[in-house]
Amino acid sequence: MQRHQKQKVPAVEGLFSWPSDDPRLIVSRCKSCKTCYFPAVSTCVNPECDDKEGVEQVHISRRGKLWSYTIQHYPPPQPFPYKSKQEFAPFAVGIIEFAEGIRVAGMLTTTENLGIGTEYEMIVDKLDEDEENEYLTWKFRPTKQGG
Amino acid sequence: MAREVAIVGVGMHPWGKYPEKTIVDMCVEATLKALQDANMNWREVGFVASGCSPWFHMGGLLIGNYMPERLGETGVPVVNVFNACATPISALREAYNAILNGESDTAIALAADKYSGGFFVPDKYVGPRDPDYLRFRMIGLTNPTVWALWARRRMHVVGTEPWHFAKVKEKNSQHGALNPYARYRKVFTVDEVLNSPMVCDPLTLYEICATNEGAAAVVLCAMDKAKNYNSKPIKVSAAIVATSQFGDPTLVIPYLSRSAKDALPIHSEIRNAAQRAYKASGLKPSDIDVVELHDGCSYHELAYLEAILDLELGESDRLLEQGATTINGKIPVNPSGGSSSLGEAISAQGLAQASEIVWQLRGEVGERQVKDAKVGLGQTYGLMGNCSICILERAF
């Protein structure tokens, strides 16, 4: 019996461009002070900015530098995909600093050779699935230079 | 001349697991202990400020209103406040302000919590675009995960080593062993802490406090009436809340991003609350004899102490190395054993801190007594960049 191909869909819409060959995180950038916010927001919260012109949604660079990291040794609670302690494998979480002046948290694709300041790139990867869909999130992967 | 406000009674239900008691039962016990300590009758209480525990609906959210229901329907004004982990000192602030502004001559601040179920999970009502949902769903970003990210950054910036985090736990376990109200009273060595299971690298299991149950109450009155109730009144010199500020690089829980402007030092909500508390009290960091701070994990004790006492980044590591933060040190931190030993009863923790400081300033804590303590500071940090601080002074 032939199984139909599951659809690949973002676990939550509007966080990264999808479908895309070059997916990027979607941020709000203040038109006045250029501060970026992720996820996208409707107003700039910089108290020194008058925000006269509002914010616009833009994509940020694919690549950035690791600012901090940790390795998660215990399964996080749901709504993170459920894993029993036996089937759970430790994974890394990092904060990446982008040239646009924003730092964003996300899962890293590896727990090996983590170092602050090394270069990572954003990718889209599977989080979990149900009968119909495969659900996607953003992750950060070391670039050749970084890894 | 502004009115002065005194604490004339404190009471704690021991921290631990009490499945046989309701949250209201525990709060009533703490309240009766505090009233007894103040030689005050419930009928004399002119204002009630209660910290809410949101996980228990009516019993937790309207806990203050259960006190007249249990202790006497006197018509007393009741407010119930919630400010995440900054809740209990926010309740103290309400009670303090009610006396300060002349609304009442007496007041009680009380709080209880019974959330002892491990990791926090997002509220089911917030919707998929809420950052508290997104952080769990998309990244698995728990509170300890964020703390570990802060801790790793600290290691990079100031050279803190895993040994320092373990040493904080060793020190607090030595203090907590002397505290009959603490849930965990076993002394751990640095090696035992480092060898406990890794939770979020670099933080190990013994370095992260457990969610817990507890209740505490603080009885206040106008200073000119204090001697009617207690021969050892303690002055409330400040009861303050503050929030975090744009330009602070700290990734605030539950958010997913932060501007990299780096215009301010980290943990701005704590620096803001501390500065406001010093201004309100007319005191300065060097006046503080004892600190009870919010050690959700070992990292916090190092970073928060620097924010509270306005120290250079990294200075807490030196103080720790010198033994300065032990009970007999230059600036004792968490003589109660902190959340590390008590466990954290979220909505009540700050009143446990206030109780400990009152006993310290009265000289009533025996083996864990900080010698000649005259001024104490209590601090709790709340989710979404909220910080509360109280400064208490001996007034006898």
Give the pLDDT confidence of A30-73 residue by residue, as tens digits.
999 999 999 999 999 999 998 778 999 999 999 999 999 999 99
- Among B145, B199, B257, select the one facing A93 at the smallest CB separation: B145
Best of A27, A74, A110, A128 to disrupt the B interface (most B CBs within 10 Å) is A74
Check pLDDT > 60 for residue A1.
no
- For residue B180, what pLDDT is reported? 97
- For residue B125, what pLDDT is reported? 65
Helix, strand or coil, per DSSP, at residue B22: coil
- Among B121, B200, B259, select the one facing A102 at the smallest CB separation: B259
- For residue A3, what pLDDT is reported? 63
B137 touches chain A (CB under 8 A): yes
pTM recorded for the entire structure = 0.96
- For residue A147, what pLDDT is reported? 46
Q: Three-state SS across chain A? A: CCCCCCEEEECCCCCECCCCCCCCEEEEEECCCCCEECCCCCCCCCCCCCCCCCEEEEECCCEEEEEEEEEECCCCCCCCCCCCCCCCCCEEEEEEEECCCEEEEEEECCCCCCCCCCEEEEEEEEEEECCCEEEEEEEEEECCCCC
Low-confidence ranges of chain B (pLDDT < 70): 1, 118-119, 123-125
Q: What is the Cα Rg of chain A in Å? A: 17
Q: Which two tokens stand for residue A39?
A: 């996820």
Q: What is the largest CA-CA distance in chain B?
A: 58
Check pLDDT > 90 for residue A5.
no
Residue B313 DSSP label: T
- For residue B369, what pLDDT is reported? 98
Closest CA–CA distance from residue A3 to any residue of chain B (Å): 27
ipTM value: 0.96
Cα separation, A24 vs A7, in Å, equals 19
Instruction: Say yes or no for a CB contact (<8 Å) between B138 and A11.
Output: yes
Give the pLDDT confidence of A97-128 residue by residue, as tens digits.
999 999 999 999 999 999 999 999 999 999 99
- Per the CB < 8 A criterion, the answer to whether A140 and A62 are in contact is no
Share of chain A above pLDDT 70, in %: 96
Please list, in sequence order, all residues whose beta carbon lies within 8 angstroms of the beta carbon of residue B114, skipping any fewer than 6 positions away: B18, B23, B26, B53, B55, B56, B60, B213, B345
Residue B197 DSSP label: P
Q: Which two tokens stand for residue B26?
A: 């525990």
B125 touches chain A (CB under 8 A): no
Question: Contacts of residue A135 in chain B, CB cutoff 8 Å?
Answer: none
Question: Contacts of residue A36 in chain B, CB cutoff 8 Å?
Answer: 257, 259
- For residue A146, what pLDDT is reported? 52
Tell how far CA B16 is from the center of its chain. 16
Closest CA–CA distance from residue B387 to any residue of chain A (Å): 19
Instruction: Say yes or no for a CB contact (<8 Å) between A73 and B197.
Output: yes
- For residue B1, what pLDDT is reported? 63
